[in-house]
Structure 1
Amino acid sequence: MINNLSLIQSICDLKRKKNAIILSHYYQNNSIQEIADYVGDSLALARLASQTNADVIILCGVHFMAETAKILSPKKRVFIPDINARCSLADSCPLSEFKEFIKQYPYHLIVSYINTSVEIKVLTDIVVTSGNACKIIESFPKNVKLIFAPDRNLGNYINSITGRDMIIWNGACHVHEQFSLEKILNLKQKYPNALVLAHPECKSAILKIADYIASTAGLLNYVSQSKRNKFIVATESGILHKMKMINPDKFFIPAPPNDSTCACNECSFMRLNTLEKLHNCLKYEEPEIIIDRETIKKAAEPINKMLKLSDKLGL
């Protein structure tokens, strides 16, 4: 087995040789974040994928993120280190069931969270991320009827902020569903000066006690600007690496899950990607994301609408 230093050197050599770019989500393990060319949330990765001059994109994240990169860069070759790195939230919205669902609401605009499969995006009018969802929803006239998929927690949060009454698909993220309200409150007693930070994919009970709610990038920015030095963080624990890197003098506590026997504050799918798999992905050029041209064309429309509107709104 190649040691980590040799593995890292080989990855860097292969990347240069193949004019490849490595994009990593904040929820990847530390070693992948450190070797990546860019680390970001879904919105940032989508923008980077659409703008890169690289010939090859290695998306270190989950399957829908790699699909999004391929949709936005159809002439590039796009790979993911582990093809089984799926997303529980995207998988909670099966195509056949969603088609039947939207038939019940024929005069509704379909808004999909970026955490969806390419097939769901084809049915979508506009895509949103957790970082821009509220502003994009607020930009629609009040009389426009909306369906939101797939995350019920994010959908309910958007409704509460915007005053809308979107029809919401009943999906959820297995990580954000598992945070324990009781254990977070116990941590608050132990660390009374700590602020609770939460991603809007968390259940409403967690959001009610949170001091600040935002996307992964939003939470990172808040921590960097805050004068406070202790934070209880209710999102996937991979974000803590970047938080600590940028704010070495601050103290971060991962919010605990209900089940103490599992690391439910880690996404098991995100953690399928490893340095060794990243190396093999670059070396052997597999597994590759393949999407037919017509599907790419249809799925690109709602994503590009989001990117253009986000730029217009300054998001």
Structure 2
Amino acid sequence: MTATLTPYSGVEPDAAWRDEVRRLVEQRDAVLLAHNYQLPEIQDIADFTGDSLALSRIAAESSASTIVFCGVHFMAETAKILSPGKTVLIPDERAGCSLADSITAADLREWKAQHPNAVVVSYVNTTAEVKAETDICCTSSNAVDVVASIPADKEVLFCPDQFLGAHVKRVTGRDNIHIWAGECHVHAAINGPELAERASQDPSADLFVHPECGCATSALYLAGEGIVPSEKVKILSTGDMVKEAKATNARSVLVATEIGMLHQLRKAAPEIDFRAVNDRASCRYMKMITPAALLRSLRENKDEVHVDPETAARARASVQRMIEIGQPGGGE
């Protein structure tokens, strides 16, 4: 993926647009899903908003024959994997993911050959082909539980996010876990000094930190050193951030994740002052799902997502193994 992709444009998200989108959703017997990082107007018109895996499971349980997934490509693939008999559309198939792109199926096969007895744990933020080469998937909210379920004497290959992998290694204390050096370009750019500066400016604030962030280790350091009270540092998936927003007694919260998350948090708890640790942390791929792209998708049946049936079956097995360990919570 490149930074030169031009999103579909020219459509205002006004009342006429909203009416047309909802009419077409009903006409197509569709369920409209939006990830937490989508544009606010896309989140607001969706039937369901949340994490990608949670949304895919909702879609699989829906009676709708068509799934319109407003997110990035691997998310729509996961919906297709879990709903092979349904039509899955993504409003712009060019919406990729720097994290998913950081490992290919060929990369993983080569890594597995170097560690033939290892168990492969892959984050759901991966392509269908990588999931098909995986023993068990994980989400950011259950990665620790998934790795802990693997016998202690078994090597673990964890991919692709190095920051989530470091978090899992820190919590489990496991020394036989090998971590792929991938990252989400948005989360990696939210750094420790930035977090420390914002926390010092608002010492009473809770810190909601996504484990993909480059600042997750710094957040735990601040807590360990007593700079920030440990109970104020919350390492959370996006789905768990919404739950915590409804439960916290804090009057202000600093949020370290993609800025689209602020919209859902403010809706969940409007009395709290939610602010981004880095207000430039915007994913250009997530923002490719524009009002124009969504309208095009519904009018023209674009862009349909296909996954090879054999690949989908193998990938589905790795997701099912994760679900059998326990409730996977949110997707990422």
TM-score range, shorter chain: over 0.9
Please point out which of 106, 109, 117 is paired with 1:96.
Answer: 106
Match of 2:27 in 1: 17
Gaps of 5+ in 1: 258-262
SS of residue matched to 2:188: coil
1:134 aligned partner, one-letter code: V
196-205 or 27-36, larger mean C-alpha shift = 196-205
Alpha-carbon contact 1:198-1:207 (below 8 Å) kept:
no
Alpha-carbon contact 1:196-1:209 (below 8 Å) kept:
no
123-132 or 184-193, larger mean C-alpha shift = 184-193
Shift of 1:314: 8.7
Q: How many residues align?
A: 308
Gaps of 5+ in 2: 1-9, 224-232
Does residue 177 (structure 1) correspond to residue 188 (structure 2)? The answer is: yes
Shift of 1:209: 3.2
1:26 aligned partner, one-letter code: N
Shift of 1:141: 2.2
TM-score w.r.t. the length of structure 1 is: 0.93
**Cα distance in 1 between the residues matched to 2:34 and 2:237:** 16
Alpha-carbon contact 2:192-2:218 (below 8 Å) kept:
yes
**Cα distance in 2 between the residues matched to 1:17 and 1:314:** 31
2:179 aligned partner, one-letter code: I
**Cα distance in 2 between the residues matched to 1:209 and 1:254:** 18
Shift of 1:8: 0.9
TM-score w.r.t. the length of structure 2 is: 0.89
1:292 aligned partner, one-letter code: D
Cα deviation digits, residues 193-229 of structure 1 (max 9, x gap): 1122100011223453361101111122112101111
1:126 aligned partner, one-letter code: I
SS of residue matched to 2:121: strand
Shift of 1:71: 0.6
Alpha-carbon contact 1:200-1:207 (below 8 Å) kept:
no
Please point out which of 69, 74, 93 is paired with 2:84.
Answer: 74
SS of residue matched to 1:147: strand
Alpha-carbon contact 1:82-1:273 (below 8 Å) kept:
yes
Does residue 240 (structure 1) correspond to residue 253 (structure 2)? The answer is: no
Match of 2:67 in 1: 57
TM-align CA RMSD: 1.7
Alpha-carbon contact 2:122-2:134 (below 8 Å) kept:
yes
SS of residue matched to 2:198: helix
Does residue 141 (structure 1) correspond to residue 151 (structure 2)? The answer is: yes
Identity of aligned residues (%): 37
Structure 1 53/250 Cα, relative in aligned 2: closer, same or farther at 3 Å?
Answer: same
SS of residue matched to 1:176: helix
Shift of 1:308: 2.5
The within-5 A match list for 1:21-170 is: 21-165=31-175, 166-170=177-181
Alpha-carbon contact 1:224-1:247 (below 8 Å) kept:
yes
Shift of 1:49: 2.7
Match of 1:216 in 2: 238
Alpha-carbon contact 2:104-2:129 (below 8 Å) kept:
no
Shift of 1:183: 2.5
SS of residue matched to 1:183: helix
Shift of 1:67: 0.2
Structure 1 310/46 Cα, relative in aligned 2: closer, same or farther at 3 Å?
Answer: farther
Match of 2:229 in 1: none
Higher relative contact order (CA 8 A, sep 6+): 2
